[in-house]
Amino acid sequence: MATSSRVLASLRRVSVPRQASPLLQRFQPAIRVRWAGTTSATSEPHQPNENGTVSSSPAPAKAIKLTSETYPELQRNSKFAKLSQDHVKYFQELLGSESAVVDGLSKDASEDIEPFNSDWMRKYRGQTKLVLKPQSTQEVSSILEYCNKNRLAVVPQGGNTGLVGGSVPVFDEIVINLQKMNKIRAFDEVSGILVADAGVILEVADNFLAEKNHIFPLDLGAKGSCQIGGNVSTNAGGLRLLRYGSLHGNVLGIEAVLPDGTIMNDLSTLRKNNTGYDLKQLFIGGEGTIGIITAISIICPQRSEAINVAYFGLESYEQVQKAFSEAKTQLSEILSAFELMDGRSQKIVNTVTGKRFPLEGEYPFYCLIETSGSNTDHDSEKLQNFLESVMESSIVSDGVLAQDQTQIQDLWAYREGISECLGHWGGVYKYDLSLPISDLYELVNDVRDRLIEAGVVGDDDSFPAVDVVGYGHMGDANLHLNVAVRRYDKKVEKLLEPFVYEWVQRKNGSISAEHGLGIAKKAYIGYSRDETMIRLMKQIKNLYDPNGIMNPYKYI
């Protein structure tokens, strides 16, 4: 896209002039941030960021504290059977020994069972002795029917890129990993409807669709590892929700296996189908607690020809809100992302990566705006008009516009790299929250003030906390509140909780916007849901899984 002289003129007029920064240069950012393995299409568990950007070198799993030690109040439920040789024999006969991997029996190191026991954040570690890798819906059905009859607890597992410990065992639950169910079943080019196995990796699905000029209506950093069945099970939000809407609207059908082995064939490929309760919706965000999704059908939009990305510096959160309103009005149908990053988060990316800032000056807030449309000229003109208006009205203080695909990736890296960079000092307390937009950033200030006042934030090793930052999907009112720490510390934890949850509750927010509950948020659901809702949810759980074998100790 050609840089418009009108926009340049506008920028020149309203932004603060700096000798070292000719304006044209500001439109050609030199940053070249690269995150290891971002697009590696492996099906084994790896280390993603808050949206799952994958790191290439997982730390040895043995170093991770057992979940049962972290949560000493959790006891293995004695109603569950312990794995016996008979059980193992049954599964190995059903699946073959390559697809029923027993701890310690494998000669091949890559088949080590440990990666299936622990999560990428190194926060959770289970003690399973058995990983099953079914290759068909019928195999999943046979597995669950057997487990249900024999009271063997199970954990469904996709790409294991979750952030709340939902996809790894707590004790000795059997892992049922979907990686071998990885076929695209059908695609209709006229309607854009895709039918695929649950174990298809998101990026594989999106690449397949790209060849057909379509796009998967969900995108997130972990796309190289996460599986579409896992995405649907956690109702992943990610980067395209603002434009394409939620999975509750886009998923048209689900094939799932219930705990008793029943195959629920609700794999409709119809955009409209009003024939009874929409049961599949319970599995979207059900986190594998009432069944295992084995396939989905989903409506995929046409791929946009024109993608534009701009990156702004702004002087206040008030200005950020104004910019968002203007973007909604002026960019309207082509606005595909409006991301918020506070100044501290961008400083940390800058510090950790050593790459230069996209902008010359420093600002308390930054935004990343993406547009996707069918006509490059039209989109450029809309974006240009938008840029002019927000610069002229001083809503935005400075900005750059990506000139090519590389620069688009560079700007996105300053947003997507935050989570990984925050881990640089050792650990991160992470909160994934929904809040009314007007109150969204106030929480970050309140938490930072609280921690500074308590004397736990500082520049040297005597302070446990490094900094408190806020960023997220502003377009969806989704804040990621993160506290970077040098070490996990009880004092910090007590300052954070229940303070953060109570704050969210007062604003009628959600304690889990897109990450789900898993084991991490299970205890806190009461801050976002009342007792009646929790009772009704438990009713559903008991209806589908009366023996409680599905993903126990988690969710609600």
- Ranges within 358-417 binding a second copy (CB under 8 A): 372-375, 378, 381-382
| Count of residues near a second copy by CB under 8 A | 91
Q: Which one, 282 or 468, has the nearer CB to a second copy? A: 282
Subset of 457-486 contacting a second copy (CB under 8 A): 473, 476-478
Using rule CB under 8 A, residue 285 touches a second copy: yes
Strands, E, within 204-300: which ranges?
Answer: 251-257, 263-266, 292-299
Using rule CB under 8 A, residue 19 touches a second copy: no
Considering only 68, 135, 167, 304, the residue that binds a second copy (CB under 8 A) is: 304
Q: Which one, 100 or 320, has the nearer CB to a second copy? A: 320
Subset of 321-360 contacting a second copy (CB under 8 A): 321, 324-325, 328-334
- Residue 309 CB, shortest distance to a second copy, in Å, is 17
- Give phi and psi for 298, each to the nearest 5: -150, 140
Considering only 235, 353, 482, 551, the residue that binds a second copy (CB under 8 A) is: 235
Considering only 369, 513, 519, 520, the residue that binds a second copy (CB under 8 A) is: 513
Using rule CB under 8 A, residue 523 touches a second copy: no
Q: What HEC string does 83-127 produce? A: CCHHHHHHHHHHHCHHHEEECCCCCCHHHCCHHHHECCCCCCECC
CB contact set of 58 (below 8 Å; sequence gap of 6+)? 45, 46, 47, 115, 120
Asked if 96 and 134 count as a contact pair (C-beta separation under 8 A), the reply is no
Subset of 181-220 contacting a second copy (CB under 8 A): 188-192, 213
Subset of 140-159 contacting a second copy (CB under 8 A): none
- Residue 362 CB, shortest distance to a second copy, in Å, is 27
Considering only 515, 545, 550, 554, the residue that binds a second copy (CB under 8 A) is: 515
Q: Which stretch binds a second copy (CB under 8 A): 229-237, 308-316, 421-429, 490-498?
A: 229-237
Q: Which one, 35 or 555, has the nearer CB to a second copy? A: 555
- Residue 490 CB, shortest distance to a second copy, in Å, is 26
Subset of 427-446 contacting a second copy (CB under 8 A): 434, 436-438
Considering only 181, 514, 550, 551, the residue that binds a second copy (CB under 8 A) is: 514
In terms of C-beta distances under 8 Å and separation of at least 24 residues, what long-range contacts does 485-491 make, across chains too? 485/425, 485/426, 485/427, 485/428, 485/429, 486/425, 486/426, 486/427, 486/461, 487/426, 487/427, 488/427, 488/429, 489/456, 489/464, 489/465, 491/454, 491/456, 491/464
- Residue 354 CB, shortest distance to a second copy, in Å, is 33
Q: Which residue, among 63, 234, 90, has the nearest Cα to 174 in the 3D structure? A: 90
Strands, E, within 250-397: which ranges?
Answer: 251-257, 263-266, 292-299, 306-314, 335-342, 365-373
CB contact set of 279 (below 8 Å; sequence gap of 6+)? 264, 266
Q: Is the peptide bond before 29 cis (omega within 30 degrees of 0)?
A: no
Subset of 258-277 contacting a second copy (CB under 8 A): 262-266, 268-277
